[in-house]
């Protein structure tokens, strides 16, 4: 879900704790009061993403058997759910639970479409810290994570037998025989979604994180680390290792085409690309991103999809309980088996279902190293100016420092104009 989210993964668990709790005993859910038998609704309505319902049906059946509440599952395209909730919620015909990418959490919360939930530490510690942070806005938790994704290192095993440990090794490979390929490595580093991993690895940040609250007035995209990161990115273009055709809006398509044609040995891309590469007949290997020259990890943006409770639900306590149930370790494992979407559940990291799956393990490990894409509305002002700075630097039209300082100035002005208090 590039830019949806727009996705981190160490994996521990509390399914047994959930299984032991009865509806009158469990006080970990939202709402500030314990449910009683009188509070129990006959039915909850859950909106799941299109063609993903099979991943939650087993969990829903067990929830129904445990609590005696019918769950009506409806498949609705995830990105359509926000608008539909805006209309159906006030009309009292909306859902109790929706699913959404985490970068929409801020706007949804501000608009009053989703409700914060309160869960115990035993619940939140089941998931990676980064995935919980991704679903937190203004200090409040707005759901639990169901899956995560982030860019990784993908290589053609015929041309590159194993993944290099560092980008220095990738650079040396790219300057050598390249396994018979025309290019050793390509990355869409004039797209801020991909480039941010490099900049962050050198010490930049988008918005300052103050104990889980992002400060849109404190931008770190022109600090020393950001400049060093863009210097490094630009060096690949200056040295002719990246072709001119991978700058701008169509760069991603160009990279995909070259990799599918066997003209590039390795690329930086996300799990959404795996099947297309396989369909093109490429025997792909997948690994976490190789380390930067400064010894740090590439801190890619991670995207998290979560389940959230509707603000319009009259059954928010039970809706939160359903969210807990369908995202616990057992449910998450079943969902992965049926959807291949990787759950950020700590204990599953060492489970063979992830550990023995090269691609899933790579995404899981890289997700641990990444940073959640900012989920505040002000993030909308970042993409275009940041991309412009990257492109100006890559083409040699501006020095990295000047390009980034100009971008930060524009971002700040746009944030003030579009998000400042009226």
DSSP conformation class of 345 = B
Q: Is the pLDDT of residue 31 over 60?
A: no
Q: What is the pLDDT of residues 158-177, one digit of tens each?
A: 999 999 999 999 999 999 99
Q: Is the pLDDT of residue 29 over 80?
A: no
pTM of the model: 0.87
Dump pLDDT digits (tens) for 178-232: 999 999 999 999 999 999 999 999 999 999 998 778 999 999 999 999 999 999 9
Query: Nearest 5 degrees, angle CA 115-CA 116-CA 120?
Result: 140
**HEC profile for the chain?**
CCCCCCCCCCCCCCHHHHHHCCCCCCCCCCCCCCCCHHHCCCEEEEEECCCCHHHCHHHHHHHHHHHCCEEEEEECCHHHHHHHHHHHCCCCCCCCEEEEEHHHHHHHHHHCCEECCCCCHHHHCCECHHHHHHCEECCEECCEEEEEECCEEEEECCCCCCCCCEHHHHHHHHCCCHHHCCECCECCCCCHHHHHHHHHHHCCEEEEEECCEEEEEEEECCCHHHHHHHHHHHHHHHCCCCCHHHCCCCHHHHHHHHHHCCCECEEEECHHHHHHHHHCCCCEEEECCCECCCCCCCCCEEEEEEEEEECCCCCHHHHHHHHHHHHCHHHHHHHHHHHCCECCEHHHHCCHHHHCCHHHHHHHHHHHHCEECCCCHHHHHCHHHHHHHHHHHHCCCCCHHHHHHHHHHHHHHHHHHHHCCC
Does residue 422 surpass a pLDDT of 60? no
Q: At what angle do helices 192-202 and 224-238 cross, to 10 degrees?
A: 120
Q: What's the rounded mean pLDDT across residues 122-146?
A: 95
Which pLDDT belongs to residue 7?
34
The predicted-structure confidence for 233-273, as pLDDT tens digits, reads as follows 999 999 999 988 899 888 999 999 999 999 999 999 999 99
Q: Which residues of 216-226 are buried (b: 16+ CB within 10 A; e: fewer)?
A: beebbbbbebb
386-410 residue pLDDT tens: 999 999 999 999 999 999 999 999 9
């Amino acid at each position: 879900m590039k830019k949806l989210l727009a996705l981190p993964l160490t994996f521990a668990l509390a399914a047994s704790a959930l299984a032991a709790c009865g509806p009158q005993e469990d006080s970990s859910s939202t709402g500030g009061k314990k449910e009683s038998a009188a509070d129990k609704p006959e039915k909850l309505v859950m909106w799941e993403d299109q063609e993903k319902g099979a991943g939650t049906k087993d969990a829903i059946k067990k929830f129904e058997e445990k609590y005696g509440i019918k769950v009506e599952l409806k498949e609705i395209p995830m990105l359509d759910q926000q608008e539909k909730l805006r209309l159906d919620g006030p009309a009292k015909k909306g859902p109790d639970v929706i699913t959404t990418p985490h970068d929409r959490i801020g706007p949804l919360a501000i608009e009053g479409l989703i409700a914060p939930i309160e869960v115990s530490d035993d619940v939140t510690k089941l998931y990676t810290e980064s995935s919980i942070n991704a679903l937190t806005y203004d200090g409040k938790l707005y759901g639990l994570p169901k899956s995560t994704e982030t860019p990784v290192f993908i290589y053609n095993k015929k041309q590159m037998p194993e993944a290099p440990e560092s980008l220095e090794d990738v650079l040396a490979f790219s300057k050598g025989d390249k396994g018979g390929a025309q290019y050793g490595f390509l990355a869409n580093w004039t797209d801020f979604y991909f480039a941010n991993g490099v900049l962050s690895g050198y010490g930049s940040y988008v918005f300052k994180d103050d104990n889980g609250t992002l400060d849109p007035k404190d931008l770190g995209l022109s600090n020393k680390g950001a400049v060093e990161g863009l210097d490094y990115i630009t060096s690949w273009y200056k040295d002719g290792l990246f072709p001119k055709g991978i700058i701008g809006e169509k760069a991603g398509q160009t990279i995909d085409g070259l990799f599918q044609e066997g003209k590039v040995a390795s690329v930086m891309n996300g799990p959404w690309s795996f099947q297309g590469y396989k369909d093109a007949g490429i025997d792909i290997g997948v690994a976490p991103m190789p380390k930067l020259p400064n010894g740090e990890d590439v801190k890619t943006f991670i995207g998290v999809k979560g389940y959230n409770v509707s603000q319009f639900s009259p059954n928010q306590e039970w809706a939160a309980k359903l969210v807990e149930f369908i995202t616990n370790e057992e449910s998450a494992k079943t969902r992965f088996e049926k959807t291949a979407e990787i759950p950020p559940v700590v204990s599953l990291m060492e489970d063979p279902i992830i550990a023995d799956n090269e691609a899933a393990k790579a995404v899981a490990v890289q997700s641990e190293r990444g940073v959640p894409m900012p989920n505040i509305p002000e993030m909308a002002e970042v993409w275009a100016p940041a991309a412009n700075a990257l492109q100006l630097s890559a083409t040699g039209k501006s020095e990295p420092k000047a390009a980034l300082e100009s971008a930060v100035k524009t971002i700040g002005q746009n944030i003030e104009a579009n998000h400042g208090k009226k």
